[in-house]
Amino acid sequence: MTIDAASPAPPPGLRESKKQETRQLISDVATGLFLAQGFERTTIAEIAAAARVAKKTVTNYFPHKEDLALDHQDAFTASLAATVTGRQAGEPALAALRRAFADAAASADPVAGFSGPGFARMVADSPTLSARLRDLHDLREAALADALADATGTPRDDITPRTAAALLGAVHRTLFQRIQELTLAGQDTARISATVTTEADSAFGLLEPSLAAYAAG
């Protein structure tokens, strides 16, 4: 009888846990390097060396360099659509999104733009990241348009949900930029949260005449 001396394969749960640990390690190392020397000046090879993994391992987990910096991008692009899909019974989309933003501002949610001064400066100084962030805002708006179409039983290519999403997305884009602006101006999180909460009431209020009852759940 022969004995297989090879180590048994780890259970699926352990394998997934190790993958998540490796991914988080790479992300943390990359963020540290980006903050220290700038996004544009940091290479994938440097990140791999600092994380003690192969360069291919980095690109397997993060196909694009921007993915290493904007690691909340999936949550970001899905956030507005998820709010509409999960809104309360009878709650219009505007009310749901307004409430969700107030909650995000109160908790200083990074997805809403509360990234801290170092990260905000890194993005502002990087043409690549600034361009990618604009793309993410566009993707978030497109996902919101689909969610509004589904919520109202309207074809996804109909102009009404797309227009509503453009208006709602513009408010969120403006508030995100406002948070970044105040962060770069040196204001602390509590003051920023208070400021944008008040400004959000005014911004969302501008949409009430046209969208107050739209897409009521």
The arrangement of secondary structure in 12-69, i.e. its CATH architecture, is: Orthogonal Bundle (1.10)
Strand segments, DSSP code E, in 6-103 are none
The pLDDT profile of the chain, 217 residues, written as one tens digit per residue, is 333 445 565 566 888 888 999 999 999 999 999 999 999 999 999 999 999 999 999 999 999 999 999 988 999 999 999 999 999 999 999 999 999 999 999 999 999 999 999 999 999 999 999 999 999 999 999 999 999 999 999 999 999 999 999 999 999 999 999 999 999 999 999 999 999 999 999 999 999 999 999 999 7
Contact (CB, 8 A) for 90 and 214: no
Q: What span, in angstroms and rounded, lies between the C-alpha atoms of 202 and 57?
A: 47
Which residues have CB under 8 Å from 148's CB, separation 6+? Answer: 84, 93, 154, 161, 164, 165, 214, 215
Domain map (residue ranges) of the chain: 12-69, 73-211
pLDDT of residue 16: 86
Contact (CB, 8 A) for 185 and 63: no
pLDDT of residue 80: 98
pLDDT of residue 1: 35
The CATH classification number of 73-211 equals: 1.10.357
